[in-house]
Chains A and B, each alone.
Chain A
Amino acid sequence: MRIRTPGVVLAVAALALTAGCSSGGDDPQNSTSATPAGATGKLVIWGDDKRAAALKPFADKFGQENGVTVEVQAISKDQQTTFVTASQQGSGPDVMVGAHDWIGNLVQNGAIDPVQLTAEQQQGLAPNALKAVTFNGQVYGVPYATENLALIRNTKLAPEAPATIEDLVKNGKKLKADKKASEILCLQVGQNGDAYHAYPLFTSAGGYLFGTDASGAYDKNDLGVGKPESIAAFAKIRALGEKGDGALKRSITVENSIATFTSGKCAYLVSGPWAVTDAKKAKIAYDISPVPGFAGGKPAQPFLGVQSFYVAAKGKNKALAQEFVTNYVTTPELAVALYQAEPRPPVLTAAFDQVKGTDPDLAKFVDAGKNAVPLPAIPEMATVWDPFGKAESAVIGGADPKAALTAAAKTISGQIKQ
């Protein structure tokens, strides 16, 4: 009997504990129905670290105005994958902040809903950014900032902006011969290539990734990789590579390209607004101009990336999310705050006008992006990056452009068909 008694006591205690736990779990729900006028709605916003911090005060303000709680969560890595997976499991946010080229993939996974902007709201946005977030004829996100590549040069070493790539190489070689620099051009390639940074040169030499249909949208059935124009373009890129001028090198990678520039070892850097912070920190005298194209070639077109706010399709509070994204994000104050968190040109014309006076680099980046084409947001673009980059790296290392691009095109079209 003595052995039994503790067992019974234990059972009772455990039951009590269970009951305690379960009633604890019920509590918040009970309280919601008990106080109908309280702050019952909750809006969850996901963004990367910097944006999450900038959004916080505005999210709180939005919450107070609407009598809801707003939670801003920073997702530090693989935002797109995390978002899609979490949405699928029902643990995703209501609003997601991210790049516009995610749209195709997010739509095919049913992760985001289209947003309906008024004509007035649409007119307040930069047209190319609005075009970038349009997919299958629908606007899927509210854009707020753009980014594109430009040529950043060390004005001490290279006072004049080069008109063509040939000029740049000529001057770079001279600097190298005079031992003023050790590299001609800092354009990141890396062992596996970098399609994003290669794109301006690729377009200037006449290559293209996807053709466009009558409405100007990218056509997945017209793949430019492997076409004669693109092979010819890669022949020009090869001539700049390790077996040619030595301006493009696989040893210049995402890790060392900006550092090599800021340490004064090369006069020219092809990079985006994010590199400017480093250049300022290193106290380099710099200037920004468009990425030059080949002499006699087409203009060099960098990609235009657009940061946007999305309404999650599986969010728990969609009406509130739509309210935030379409009627609140389109206000200039928020756009300016996000600009201050990370200096990229705001899409909202009113916000851009506010900040351009204080930051001369901004206008130069916008000018460099005048020819920019929106990054293709079609899901098929995901299959291009890796094979294209690898073909680029092989060709810069001296491989035959035709063999490399034909293989890349075969891999890409094989993956598109699935």
Chain B
Amino acid sequence: MTALLERETASDPAQQPGRGGLTGPLLKVALLGLVAGLAVWAAFPLVAERAWPGLAVLAVATAGLFYLYLTPRHVPLKYLVPGTLFLIVFQLFPVLYTAATAFTNFSDGHRGDKQDAVVAIQTASVTRVPGSAEYALTVATTGDPATGPLTFLVTDPGTRTVSAGTAAGLEQLPSGGVSVNAAGRVTAAEGYTVLNGGQASARSREITDLAVPTAGGAIRSQGLSRAYEGKAGRAYDAGCDCIRDTTSGKTWTADEEAGAFVAADGERLAQGWRVGVGLSNFGRLVTDSAVSGPFARTLVWNLFFAVASTGGTFVLGLACALALHSPRMRGRGIYRMLLVLPYAMPSFAMLLVWRDMFNTDFGLINNLFGLDVDWFGGAASARIAVILVQLWLGYPYMFLVATGALQAIPPELSEASRLDGASPWQSLERVTLPLLMVALTPLLISSFAFNFNNFNAIYLTTDGAPFPVDNPANGATDLLITYTYRLAFGGSGAQYGFAAAVSVFIFVIVAVISAVSFRRTRRQEEVYA
């Protein structure tokens, strides 16, 4: 915008900056302001998380943007940078992140870092000391309510004596200076400021962290009005890098390769952490026979599914387009409208409708045709069913693009071929189709890539069914992407690392196929264009 403005100004020095001339700078101020605002908004969580590298990237990117749009130079960059940034953020980053995840054991039980695991293990092991008292708790301080040192004023329910607890220990208060309400909570105490709910909750973390040491363990808060005497059953020992059970003495040593604390007898604590596992996720795809065999079978079916859905819809769509392209056809408008109808429906809902239509006992298809086909129960029938659904959902799109491409081909060409004595079929095969393919091949490739990962088509209809009796992991209609989804988020707990490895694999397959196809298209263009 600025570049245009500047060039205009430069080419016509006599022009006065009028109202139209102000729009550009104003827009620029607004946009750069937006950039600055976004940067500030993004900076706060980064600072809170102490993510300094991220903050540095943010600062450099923002400064770069400001420099770029405030200087009159680097005009081509002004156009390229926004797109490039979005490409990095929305395309490159997710791909790199997925690839990086594929080399870790990121999964349920291995989500956070080691510190998180240690904290979780220690917190989970705190139990009430058997037979200990339940105290009514009042949070107080000896100084300013917001910053002063915290004290737990705990009332023993039996004797109603009040003690003051700090990190140093518990000390009984003289009963004279303390007033206690019916629930046993302290309302006022000499020398202490009692915190109200709001003040106390503002210091929530300090309150949960405060443990008043006692002979049997420590007095901890349970909420803001109760305290109990608890004892941590397990503690982390930095010396041996292990977790030790304080009563049984059993130790679980940190295993940095597995990302878990493991005992000598092989017992593993549930709370683990995330570690790099190298190529083992990829290795599992190849070496684990429970995965690799079905994986290869799924890959074959996946390729077939993508080819059949793309090819089937293309042939049907093209046939309809050719039929309606003929000038002798009557009522073309109405036909075109009817053909596009499936395309106008949300595929999400239509897939669910189709699923119910294929139901053996209640489905429309069996009832209408008087069939008794167990559609999703047999591998072949389920595959036919999902491809039929794809055909119905996908051909209007192909019809639309084919109609558009047909109208772009000059009718003189086919007329000329007819004059040369070619049959309509020959004219289609030799003249129209090649020209059509130049325009349509890129669309077919992208359609192939889309269908290769057509998650909804399978997930919403068969969900992979039918599954072989001896393998509940991949079904006859599973695509790699639905299989991956089941691994990552399915019933058996999240396995993000492994699922990322499969995703990388899918990415490579789609990228290779697309690259090869596009290269072939270019050659085609060189021949016909």
Contacts and interface: CB of A to CB of B under 8 A. Distances in A.
A255 B356 contact: yes
A6 B25 contact: yes
Interface stretch (A45-53, A163-171, A365-373, A392-400): A392-400
Given A67-B196, A90-B49, A18 B40 contact: yes
A25 B40 contact: yes
Given A14-B33, A386-B491, A403 B109 contact: no
B36 A21 contact: yes
A320 B205 CA distance: 10
B198 A3 contact: no
Given A67-B196, A256-B359, A191 B224 contact: no
B453 interface: no
A73 interface: no
A411 interface: yes
A88 interface: yes
A123 to B, nearest CB: 13
Given A116-B128, A251-B360, A386-B472, A192 B40 contact: no
Contacts of B362: 251, 256, 260
Nearest to A90: B49
Interface string A70-113: 00000000000100100010100000000000001101111001
B120 A397 contact: no
B290 to A, nearest CB: 6
B9 to A, nearest CB: 7
A233 B377 CA distance: 23
A307 interface: no
A187 to B, nearest CB: 14
Interface string B461-473: 0111111011111
A114 interface: yes
A316 interface: yes
B359 to A, nearest CB: 5
A289 to B, nearest CB: 26
B123 A113 contact: yes
Given A66-B197, A68-B198, A415-B492, A319 B469 contact: no
A191 B112 contact: no
B222 interface: yes
Interface stretch (A32-40, A151-159, A278-286, A331-339): A32-40
Nearest to A327: B223
Interface string B27-39: 0110011001101
A408 B471 CA distance: 7
A264 interface: no
Nearest to B105: A418
Interface string A385-414: 111001101100101100110111011001
A384 B490 CA distance: 11
Interface residues of A, number: 92
Contacts of B56: none
A110 B197 contact: no
A94 to B, nearest CB: 9
Interface in B349-369: 356, 359-363
A322 B208 CA distance: 10
B29 A67 contact: no
B280 to A, nearest CB: 11
A10 interface: yes
Contact of B467 (A81, A88, A192): A192
A387 B37 contact: no
Nearest to B470: A407
Given A107-B271, A317-B201, A322 B221 contact: yes
A384 B112 CA distance: 25
A382 B377 contact: no
B109 A108 contact: yes
Contacts of B297: none
Contact of A114 (B33, B72, B123, B146): B123
B360 A320 contact: no
A240 to B, nearest CB: 16
B66 interface: yes
Contacts of A391: 469, 472
Contacts of B205: 316, 318
Contact of B29 (A14, A249, A251): A14
B225 A327 contact: yes
A21 to B, nearest CB: 4
A134 B363 CA distance: 44
Given A394-B469, A397-B377, A320 B224 contact: yes
Given A14-B33, A382-B493, A394-B469, A323 B223 contact: yes
Contacts of B111: 84, 88, 109-110
B201 A379 contact: no
Nearest to B125: A138
Nearest to A394: B469
Contacts of B222: 115-116, 322, 326
Contacts of B360: 249-251
B337 interface: no
A365 B225 CA distance: 36
Contact of B198 (A17, A39, A390): A39
B224 A323 contact: yes
A216 interface: no
Contacts of B208: 318-319, 322
Nearest to B123: A113
Nearest to B382: A191
B134 interface: yes
Contact of B361 (A7, A249, A384): A249
A7 B356 contact: no
Interface string B195-230: 011111110110110000000000001111110101
Nearest to B498: A418
B96 interface: no
The list of the 6 closest CB pairs from A to B, nearest first, reads A41-B201, A110-B120, A66-B197, A323-B223, A67-B198, A386-B491
Interface of A: 2-3, 6-7, 9-11, 13-14, 17-18, 21-22, 25, 32-33, 36-41, 43, 65-68, 81, 84, 88, 90, 104-105, 107-110, 113-116, 118-119, 136-138, 183, 191-192, 249-253, 255-256, 260, 313, 316-320, 322-327, 379, 382-387, 390-391, 393-394, 397, 399-400, 403-404, 406-408, 410-411, 414-415
29 contacts: A10-B25, A10-B28, A17-B32, A18-B37, A21-B33, A21-B40, A21-B41, A22-B40, A37-B198, A40-B198, A105-B493, A107-B270, A109-B108, A116-B222, A191-B463, A192-B467, A249-B360, A256-B356, A317-B201, A318-B205, A319-B204, A319-B208, A320-B197, A322-B208, A382-B492, A383-B491, A383-B492, A408-B472, A411-B471
Given A253-B359, A319-B223, 8 more contacts: A7-B71, A41-B198, A67-B199, A88-B111, A113-B124, A191-B377, A397-B377, A411-B290
